[in-house]
Amino acid sequence: MPVTEPDTAFCLARVGKAGAGWDTLVVSGAADTALPAQDLWAVWADLEHWPLWSPLHRSVTRTTAAGGLAPRMTFDQEISLGFPVGTTTEHVTLAELEPARRAAWAGAGNGIRSCHLWSFTPLPAGGTRVSNTEAFTGLPVAMLRPLVAHRWNRAFQDAVDGLIRRAGNGSHAAR
């Protein structure tokens, strides 16, 4: 079955898949908001404060020189994925970055390839569609999928909702 959702297609292409299969897991959360993409981006781009709005994150630390976000910038994210994965630290290199539009990274390890994409799409009537999507593929994914799919999808949705809430509260302006 062809993938029609652009963020899912983007991530699947980066892990070498045309569509989701038995060894693939796609997790995502998305929501429409009246907030402009710039307000959402201001909160999203403040990496070290992700744990304030993302239930997955325990800490985020930039590992490249200080400065703004840029392609090839690196950071470590300590994420709590629950049983059976637990808490892990992932070293991330931003592969694609379009401020207030999207940010993506991909990686491979332990038999798993993955791609993560945050996108901020303007809506025709104003506002923004926020999407948080990750595709995983590999034999370990096939075994983990029944245990984690529902919970990880909920956590990705909670991260989107938390970002919108924090941006709506004007929290990015008062750090």
Q: What is the DSSP letter of 39?
A: H
In terms of residue numbers, what domain contains 66? 6-168
Domains held by the chain: number: 1
Indicate the residue type of 39: D
Indicate the residue type of 73: M
Beta-strand relationship, 87-93 and 96-98: unpaired
Evaluate whether 132 touches 30 at the Cβ level (below 8 Å): yes
Residue 142 has a pLDDT of 92
CB neighbours (10 Å) of residue 111? 11
88 phi/psi in degrees, rounded to 5: -140, 155
Residue 175 has a pLDDT of 41
In a domain, 26, yes or no: yes
**Which of the two residues, 62 and 27, has the higher pLDDT score?**
27
pLDDT band at 171 (very low <50, low <70, confident <90, very high): low
Nearest-angstrom CA–CA distance, 167 and 71: 23
Tell me the pLDDT tens digit for each residue of 45-97. 999 999 999 999 999 988 887 667 888 899 999 988 878 887 888 898 999 99
Q: What is the DSSP letter of 34?
A: S
Q: Domain of 41: which CATH number? A: 3.30.530.20
**Taking the model in full, what pTM does it have?**
0.92
**SS3 at position 51:** helix
In a domain, 1, yes or no: no
In a domain, 71, yes or no: yes
In a domain, 54, yes or no: yes
In a domain, 173, yes or no: no
Evaluate whether 34 touches 165 at the Cβ level (below 8 Å): no
Residue 1 has a pLDDT of 45
Nearest-angstrom CA–CA distance, 25 and 102: 21
Lowest mean pLDDT segment, chosen from 22-26, 69-73, 134-138: 69-73
Residue 172 has a pLDDT of 53
